[in-house]
Each structure stands twice: as structure tokens, then as C-alpha cells.
Structure 1
Amino acid sequence: MKKHFVPATIIVIVVVAMLPGAPLGAFAQLSESEIVNANLSGPVFLDAFWTDRTTAPPAGTPLSKVEVAPGDGSSVLAVTLVNRGFSDITSVTGTLSLPSGFTSSSRSNQAVATYNGIVTAGNTFTLFFQVNVSNNAPIQDYSANLKVEYSRILEAGMPRTADVSVPFKLTGKVILDASSEGGVAPGTSGKAAIKITNTGSAPATGVVVTVPGSSGVNPTTQQASLVAVGQKSFEIGTIAPGNSATIEPVLYASNSAGETLQTIPLQIEYGNTYGEKKNSTVPVGLIVLPTSASSPLSVTPVGNSSIIMTAGKITDLKVSLANNGDQQLSDVVASISSTAEQIKILGKTSWTVGDLAPGASQEISTQVFSSTDMIGKAATFTLTVQRISAGQPEIETFDVGTYVDGEISVKAYEIGITYIGGVPNITGNLLNEGNVLALFTTVEVTGAEGLVNSLPPQQYLGDLTENSPLPFSIPIDVSSNTGAGTYPVELRVQYKDSLREQHTLDIKANVNFVPEAPAENTEQTQAAGSMMMIGVIAGIIAAAVIAVVAIRMRKKSKLKRTLQFSKQNGDNKGDDIESVLDSHFGSSNKKEEERASKK
């Protein structure tokens, strides 16, 4: 009887295929040598892709794949492994070594993920790694090393480990946008050019754009503003990153849609980098042009004062109403109103123009006032014109735009010559009597005939605040032979308003000049003063010395009289001068001791 030997490879394949619950697709990527190698009992790589979840989805729900582009930052890389061993495993921990351009959520080059469930033999499980994608990571294929630690069920001891190579790809993103070029006229049908652009970093394949049959439906009349009357689906194919494709659907715009912006929700179907079909709704705005009949009237401001108003002052507003058509306009009546509460119309608000022949114009004017709250802002006046043209009454409105500016009124005063540190300066003050800042203010001397050798440089003063004096001083080089007297000087002040327009103020004034004593004379005077002070101090000291000597002499004279008196009375103590001195100074010391004890 012959014995038949079955190859071990076939036995292993059959056994693995018979594992309960083992999906055959899980082994589709494994070669025969991989199945029978030494790592048969460990987890092996099945798939890796980017996803939008950090945990497995509910049972029966597939894990979605998303596109990730350079610079997307925090992303989730899902790595699916299969337990191809004969034992169930649990407590799985994966450590993924990331290539350059990728870091973990903790900013290291290793990302860690865990799976704590039980993975039966032959089943798959997924590790979710939180990865930060930097701008420096190019779109390409990558390979990372994954170290997997796991434990077998009912097996004691240290966890087992497996090294797995994980290939993955930074896919890039498909981002589709749409824009319209031109517009459509109301009451007619025509081609509307719509550009589809891929602003992303990955190609969009199999692009199909569908234009809705109608859009802009009026909820009251149930009538659409735009209707697609021609081809509605356009197959574009592939749109590479940064490229675009144009479609031209034929659209009809209703008469009531004139001068409006309509939105068309385009339905775009495309394939992403995973080969999956995606659907996206991209709105695109389309302008419906005004009616072909243009107005024969035009309104234009007259003079600069009608364009720029001065806040806080009454301003004249003048506009010209012109008939640019070829027919006479009759019974023309115009009225004006302000759109801002801070601007009031103080003059007329309506005018009866009457007939306006072709090519004729009529100027109308009024007075307006703006508060200072409007400084630096634009304002609009609405001019409404009623007229009769070709026997039909018509009403039109026009917007007259103006800009509200503040007032700057610079005055100069107290101009004169002042010595500062021994140097003559032309000094004075500038005052802004307006209600806004005068910006970048400068002052310079443009003329000082007979006073200076050369004109000094320009002085920068900065911003000139309203109602706040700003002093200035300009050092000058006075001629050595210039005598005292009154001299004419000319100053030029320049500044800019809030619109950065430069203004110039020329000032003429007469200043009084008195030469100051030379520095040498001043030093001599200071030296003489010092000598005089020394003499005064010496005198005071001499007087003090004389006073002390006089006091001592008086005391000495008194002692002599006392001695003589003692001799005349036969007092023996008087023979001894030391006794007398001791008695005199002893009594003085005794008095001082009594005063000290009382204190």
C-alpha cells in the first residue's frame, strides 16, 4: 500500500483557511513564503490608510477613508492587522516609528496605539495612530516600522512581540471650486461659462458636473429665476491639482431676475486618491445682467465740496442732472434724502425741474450738515427722479457718494527770538483750531533777511492735536555783526490731512532781536561775583573773631575790677589770682550743673 505525502505548505494553507471567522481577503496580500515563515503565529500587516475616527466604527459600518495633505496637522492613521496565528490574542500595543515629516501627538517620532479587545485567530483588528502631518512631508509613499506587543489568551509570561513593516501614503486632497465668468441677460437664453478648479493637492478623476434644471425659485410665484434649457451633465475627466476645466450650460434668466445675483448648486462627482467615488455640492454665483434699456438720466457731483464734506460745518451739496437720451423728458421732479442719521439736510429736499431737453442738464443744490461722528467715513445721498418719457411715468433712484472729512485750521502765535543755552532760537506756538489731527507736521524758516547767515534745516513736530498748542524752537546762526532791532522772518508749516493730502501754511512775522552778552564777559562777571562772595564770607568770619575777642576782654576787665575790690576790702583771697578765677569759673560751672539737674 502506497503512502502519499502531503506538502506542509498545503496543510498550513488549509488549516489557516479553516480558521473560524477568518476572512479570506485578509490573506490575499500574503505570499506562500510569508504564510509558512517563522512569524506565522503573530499579527501581520493588512492595510493602512487615513481616517476620521480614533476608534472602530459600530459593527457593520465600514471605516471611512479620508485624504490628508501636507500641513494638515493632527490626523489619524489607521493600521489594520490580521491575527494569522492559531491562538486568540489580546492586550495589543503598537509602537509606530514615523518617517521624517511626521510626528506623534506628543511631538515625538514614535506614535503609540492600543487594542484591548480579544482578537480571535484569523480575524483583523485596527490600531489608530494620532499623527501630526507637517508642511515638509511631500505627497508620496512611505514605510514605517511597527513593533507589536501582544499576549495570547491563557498564556502566562512576558508578552510576545512582532515587527511589522507598514507601507502607507500621504495622499493629498481634492478640493473642487467653481466660479462664473460673465453673466446672462434677463428674458433671453445664453451660454454661461462656469470654471471648475481643483485647488487641492491631489488629482480629481472621473469628474462629472451636473447643472440643476432650475434654481432661484420664488416661493410666492413658484417661478424659477434660472432654467437650464440645454445639456445638464458634463463629463470632464481628470482635473490635476491647480488646473481647471470650463463648462458652458445654456441658461434662461427670467425678466424679473434682472440685476440680481443667482446661486446655482452644482452637483460634482469625482474619484479621490483611494479610487472611491465622492459627491460634492458646489454653489456658484451667476450675475443676471440689467435690462438692455438704459436710463437717459445721469447724476454727477459738481465741485470738490460735493465729494468731500467737512464735519461740524454746513456744506453746499451740488449735483448736475443731465438728459443723455434723444428724447425730451417732461415733468421732471427730483428729491434727495440722506442714508445716515448723523447727516442732516438743512436746505431744500425737492426740486421741480420741469422739461429737460436732450443733452440738457440742470444743477440742483442744497445744504447739508454732518456731525463729527462721521469723520473718516463715506456717506450716501439718495436722489429720486420722477419723470415722463414717451408718455410713460418712470421713477429712478441714484446714489450720490460723499466722504466726510474733518477740519484742520492751523494758526501761529508768539513768534519771537529766545536764547536757549546761549543759542538764539526762533520760537513760537502752533494751534490747530480744527477738529481732527494735522498729521506729519513740519516747520521751517524760509526767510530771515539780515538776521541769519544761513537758513536752518526743517524741524519735524509730529501730529498737531486739535485745540492743543504745540511749541517749536528752531536754532539759528545769527550774523556776528547783527545789531539789536526788529527783523522780518518767514516760516512755512506743512501737514497732511486724513487722506494724506499735503497742506502748506506760510507765515510772516517781525521779531525783536537783542544780542546776548558774550560768553567771556559772562565768565568774568561770574568770576567777579565769586570773588565778592569770598570777601563777604571773610568779612563775616573777621567780625565773628572780633566779637569773641571783645567778649573775652570784657570778662578780663570785670575780673580786674573784682580783684581790686577784694584788695580794698582786705580780703585775703584777692591776693591769689587763681582763687579769684576759680571762684568765678566755679560759680559758672555750678550754675550750669544746676541747670542740667533741673532738665
Structure 2
Amino acid sequence: MKLLAAIIAAMMLIPVSAYAQQPGPSRFDIIQANYSGPVFLDAFWTDRTTPPATGTSLQKVEVAPGDGASVLAVTLANRGFSEITAVRGTLSLPTGFSSSGGNGAEASNSGIVSAGGVFTLFFQVSVSERTRVGDYSTSLHVEYSRTLETGTPRTADLNIPFKVTGKVIIDASAQGGVASGGSSRVPIEITNTGSAPATGVVVTVPGSSGVNTTTQQAAIVALGQKTFELGVIPPGESKTIEPTLYVAETSGEALQAVALNVTYGNAYGERKTSNVPVGLVVLPETTSSPVSVSPVGESSIITAGKITDLSVSLINNRDQELSDVVVSVSSQSDSIKILGFTSWSIGDLQAGSSQEISTRVFASEDMIGRATTFVFTVQHVSAGQPQVETVSLGTYVDGEISIKAYEVGVTYIGGRPNLTGNLLNEGNVLALFTTVQVVSAGDLVESLPPQQYLGDLTENSPLPFSIPIDVPEGTGAGTYPVELKIQYRDTLRQLHTLDVSANVDFVPEVVTENGSQQAGSQAMASTVAGGVAAAAVIAFVIFRMRKKAKLKRTLQFSKQNGGQDIESVLDTHLGKPEEKK
């Protein structure tokens, strides 16, 4: 004891400045070191609301702005020496996020968490279009109880970092068609239409694809390089591969599908694999000639049922000039009519140069899904000798998809408001894999609903949609702006997006006196009708009372002058009871 007292006395003699110079744990570190309760481990988006089976882990999923209903998994650990139970968490939500619980999302875990054990709270959160891809930080208030304690639950306030990852969405499209009966390099554009970068992208072209309708063998065979490493594809950007494809003769001269195998790293750095179909237009076999034609832009595809521009490039493949060049064109199909120019006077065409010519054509709808050929006859003078050459251009006839949305409004179904409307495909072919999504609704909805899948949209056949929405309590009647995003794929499996803006009228549903529910407009109509009827009855009664009073005054005057009695006067002016039947 004497030694301890001496040490304490010596320490008291040391200047305060000496303590300040000694490094040591901060107050925060001391509190953290002695803290016993739930602590944060991780937060990520997942596709379920319950823990997985023993021995398996939660699947992480990508979430992008506008995804609507999503699940944020917050993993916590029990840093203590006692079991805890009845864990309840309330997660504050930054701007752009919402939940049915108002400003905060709630989740609970009723199981018993052992000391050092790990558990997960699943928060159902709606991610709106107003969010952004990136990092967020928010607070989590946790209430819990120790299994050996009674009374008021313990609490903890934790900082929760999480991230809106964005999504990687890989799409592909072939640039132009490929002629049958030979091999050629086909440009295929690989596009990331999502909101997160795709890393380490590798595209593999299958060795064979499609079916030759004559031999029942592969219609398309990949030659040479089949694997292409593209690296990183940022959101909204594309990279192009050019595989060499051999197309067998009589391969249908139509549409063939090539299923690309695409592997990439997603927003979590996980390797993902996706099979991306590419529609490849197989064109009729072209003839070889010193003079050739090639389509300009999208002229290799003609839209049936409407007038289409056909532009081609006439190319002089010779090493000498062509003089007095005259070109004419004809269609090999009676179902395709040339409505524009059918001949052109080009003049001189230098060696290796080209000249663009264009016309307008119309294809009937019975040609949809079929290939056709235009024949170009080229007359020219070469080395002083007149020559005539014939070259052909293969094209594919596709249909048209034209979607419109109409009668967009709010309808109560089973007591719940729904955003309803109709989609109409005014084109002449199916719109494949159609979806509709509410991307903005102002103050009309509390949280944006998830995307709704509608399937294939048949031509000239309205397709209704009904999307349940959560309208905030107290929302008044009025007109609200709504924006919809409609997506579909065409016959070439290319993705198209249509943005629709509409102003919808909303009237809150009210409860009538008999307990039934009516839309506000119906209830208002009933109230107005009832009020009109009541007003009519009151007006009629007042009219009768006034008339009787007037007749009574008339009778008094009559009696004073020796006139009739009251009953006869009333019967004369109002009619006898038996006469009113």
C-alpha cells in the first residue's frame, strides 16, 4: 500500500502538459471498446425478406434509380456477452427513398441471437427516380432486449452506409445483314443500357446457330475468332465486335438468331453470365461484279405497310474509271413496288470511288419476315467499250410497331387505387416482352410501384394495364402529372423505349352512410342528386303553403261580401281529393 501511495503521489507531481503529450485512446474509442450490443457489419440489396437456409448466403442484387420496391439487408452482430432477442430497427431514409411506414422503414428479428452472433434486418424500401447511383449514409435506431433482463428494452443508434449500385444491362444488335452462300465479317454492337459499368466484358460467339430449312443443319457458322475481350463498358456506351460468320445457302433468307454468351463483372464485382440474342438478317445471295452496291444506313431493312427510303452506294471496284454510267433498278417481288426513281444518270465514276443513289419503295404486309432482292442494271463505258453489268441487293422486310397509351387514369379496384390505362399497337407486328413502369407521379403516390410485365402486344388489339399505387393519406382531389416508361422488343430482339406523359384526375374514395365505399365523384353525384330532390320537395311544399294562404285571404274577402265558403273555394282552386287521383 505504501508503494501504491508513493506512485500516486509521484504522478500527481507530473505537470498536466506531460499528460497531454502522451498518446492514448479517445473518449469515442473508450466508449466503442466498452460498448455491448448490436454493431453494423454490412448493408446491401437482396431479393428476399427472410434469412436463407443454413449454409447458404444472401444473394446480392443490383438496384438502380426508379426500381421501386426493393429490399435493403442490414447485417448486424451482437457484440456482447449475453443473448439478445426482440430486435426492432427503424431506418431513416434519405431523400429519394420511401417506405409504407412514412419517413422510416421498419424491420424486426424475433429470434434469439447468441453472443457474437450475426443477424440480418430486412428493410422494404422504395427507390425512386430521384435517387442517384452512389454512396449514402443514414441512421438506424435499434431496440433490443437481453434474454435474462426484463423491463424497458435497450437501444442503440448506429450509422449505416449503403450504396445504390445501379444495374448492368447488356444488349446487342447486328449492324446490317449478311448474304447467304458465303462468309463475311458482321459488326455486332454490344451496348450497356444500364446505370452501372460492366467490367471485364467477354463476348463469346457460338460455333453454330440457327437451322438450315433445307438440310436441317446449322444455318450460321462462326469462323476464326469467337471470343472477344472488351474490358469496361460504361453506362450508355457501346463496343463493337466483328465475328466472321458463314451463312449456308438456302438458309431461309429470313431472320436467324445468334445467342451471344456475355460474361461481365457487376456492381458488386461478381462475375455474371448472360445469354443475349441477336437477330441477324440473312439476305439473298449477292452476285460478284466489278461494280457493286451496298445499303446505306438501315436500308437493308424495309418496313412493310409504309413507304420506305431505299438508299444504296454504287461502288466502282475496278482500277480504272467508268464513263457514262447509267443505273436502273427493279424489284424481284410483285409485292414490293418502286415508287421513286427507277433510273439514274451518274456520268463518270472514278476508280475505287462510290456514288449514293436513293429511291422510295413500298412493301405489302404479306412480305413481313421475308427477304427480297433488288436488281441493279449498270450500263457504262470502260476502256472505250460499252458494258452492261447486273448486281443485286438483298433486303429484309420487317413490320412496324407503333404503340400509344390512352385513357390513363386512377380507378379504385377492391378499395385500392390503381393507375389504369390501355396500350394500343397501331403497327402490323407483335411488340415482344412489353413492360410498363411508373417513373414519376408527383405527389400522387407515396412510393413508385415496380415495373409490370404485360407480355406480347398484338397489333390493333388494345391491352389494358392496372398498376396498384399507394396514395398518401390526405391527398386531395385534383389533376396530377404522371410519366410512364413502356419498353418492348422488336422481331430483331432490339429493345425500344417509349416515354408517355399524361395528366390524370384523382378523386379520393369516401365512405357513405350505409358503410359502402364510393369514389368521390360518385358520392358527390349522389349527394347532388339527393340535394336537388330535397330542394324540389321543399319548393313544392312552400308553393302549396303560399297558395293556400292566398286563397284563404281571398275567401275572407269573399265572405265579407257574401261570397262562398272555404271548402268550395279550396276545391275550386286545388281540386277535390277524388279528382287528384
Q: Which has the larger radius of gyration?
A: 1
TM-score when scaled to structure 2? 0.45
Highest RCO, 1 vs 2 (Cα 8 Å, sep ≥ 6): 2
TM-score when scaled to structure 1? 0.43
